[in-house]
Structure 1
Amino acid sequence: MTNVIQLKNILLKYGNYTAIDSVSVDFREGEFFALLGPSGCGKSSLLRIVAGFVDPTEGEVLLDGKDMTNVPARLRPINMMFQSYALFPHMSVEQNVRYGLEMAKLPEAEIKARVGEILETTHLSSMARRRPNQLSGGQRQRVALARALIMRPRVLLLDEPLGALDKKLREAMQLELKRLQHEMGLTFVVVTHDQEEALVMADRIALMKAGRIEQVGSAAELYERPASRFVADFIGRTNFFDGVANDGKVGVQHLGELIGDVEAAGPVTYSVRPEWIRLFNRRPVDYDNCVEGVVEEVNYHGQGENVMVRLPGQPQLVTVLKPANEMTPATVVHGGKIWLAWNGRDARILSR
């Protein structure tokens, strides 16, 4: 797949503060790419460097192999949509959408054709005469998208585009964004701090921490094969046990030896996701790892229960996902003893 944008050794400093620290990453033709990470990790600054709103201290921005590092934002075939949407309140939906084409002085016939096409694509045709204050949050977001897409950019940048929406609408718009990106075949680059949002929408994700990229890969790669404890902790939920790897096992104080795919030796973090752990009232057979603990909390969430278990000598409670449709459910009682079991192939061994 062809790289549309390549960032090479991007460094951004504000005085003695390093906002982005030697980041290199590429965005491919027709993919949905997510820059993910906690607040202050540098993801929005990186997006603004791609857009041309911020100049890097060092490094290169290449578009289709050409150096665009010093090219002004208005001359780049890139468009950016902000969280605020920035719609003109005195203009109708149609007027907002056609504004960019009018500024580009395109022929009226072409403007009408392109506006009609994009309003239909974004399901806004019936709202063309309304003003922004007559629209819902999701509708305003689609207007902002239509206004950005009508310029036919090579790349569309989206900075926390769904942050102002409620949970149900945000989930619906995630699918809508993915549909539009797929139908139009454009490269979308979205900044988000919401890991579920990135997992749903993105073909690839770059997880950032303190101005650096911790790992780049598909949602499945980051979830199933995290490169570090930070990645495992940020993407989804997991349980950690600190121990020492030796002879293919991890020794954990008070728990004994845990089996996993152990290659290294020395201090490691043993990670196992809540959904891979099974609960039993008696010690089970046919599992690589079995430990006994005490039930501290049970939280019902519709699709099942999160069971919080205290294990001997462990500072943190272990979370176990107990699905509602589990065929042979264990009896879980607050304060009662319970066995936790999982197989070594489902654990991940992370360096410390």
Structure 2
Amino acid sequence: MTFVSLREIHCDEETDEVGDDEIYVLMSTVNLGAHVNVEGIPIPIPSFDVWRFGIFENFAEGDTKGQPFQPFWSAPLANPDQAIFVGSVIENDNGVPEQYQQLLRLVIPKSLASSVGEPLDLVRSKLVREINEALNGVDLPVPFALDDDHVGTQELRYESPELQRAAGDLVPKVLSYDGDGGRYRVTFDVSPDIFGVIRDRWIALGAGNSPVGRPVSGETPTFDGKGRFMDFSAGIISWHPETGAHGVWGDISGRWLQIGREQYGYPITDEFTSGNGRMNTFKAVHLQGKPEASIFWTPQTGAVEIFGAIHATWKSMGAGGSSIGGPVSPEQDAPGGRIQQFQNGKLFWNSANGQVSQA
């Protein structure tokens, strides 16, 4: 499955409207590979939709407005001739954006029907031209009266090498729109395919609205060849057959990467609240005994790792909700063993008897 989405829009110059602009983007999508089954026989009939992103308010020159991950294409796309994407940038004035979507839902099937049998390039160019004309008020069907200002319309087109590269990497593409006195740049992404248990975890976390963000790399083997991970814009989802798939993000993700990532341990939880902080728990499935460990975070302490016997004792006390709170620094050597400082005390591991006690 391939995801195509709008990442952000940047204002190089405001339109001629009084005050800051209010911009929205309409993405018209056509799936030329769609079909319906008639008595068990697949009959090719293109499907289409019109997506709206925004209204992005208070848009001034130099501003960039981000868009949460909401793909307008979520289907296989190995062949760029399989789809048509047409992006339109509109400045909201007194119109109703939903009416513009309704208008394009009339224009698109009419254009496609009138292009049957024509070469694909002509089908594409005709569709772009007729969307552009409709948004400029040419031959509007009753009862449409357009009150918003059309900045521009153009096709978002991908080539086969770009789609091939998207199997393992994020592929951005920028289109520039000039019109109504304004200039806007829109960044689109083709995101790597995401599937299996990593995809299931990503969806469970909220998909594009999850704390790990949008996929930015393909699925990759971990250091031991037994697990898999995938990079996202704000974190990682890591999987091992013994632990399942879990997300690591934010400062905890940063510390996990510093201390060895899956070699420190595969995540066995997503990030969760513990006491006055946040934490992930990990399991080093490649080490003898498969020990568990954690990384704990608060705004005051940052992300700190805790492992071994001290970790086991701390968890038995209630972890971040215990009387000693969370760790403020990593475990260190001390006479006779190891010691770790917590928010409200210390834990000491005695190397002679293996016992852990408060110091």
Rg comparison, structure with higher value: 2
Same fold by TM (over 0.5)?
no
More strand per residue: 2
Larger helix share, 1 or 2: 1
Choose between structure 1 and 2 for higher RCO, CA contacts under 8 A separated by at least 6 residues.
Answer: 1
Q: Normalized against structure 1, the TM-score is what?
A: 0.24
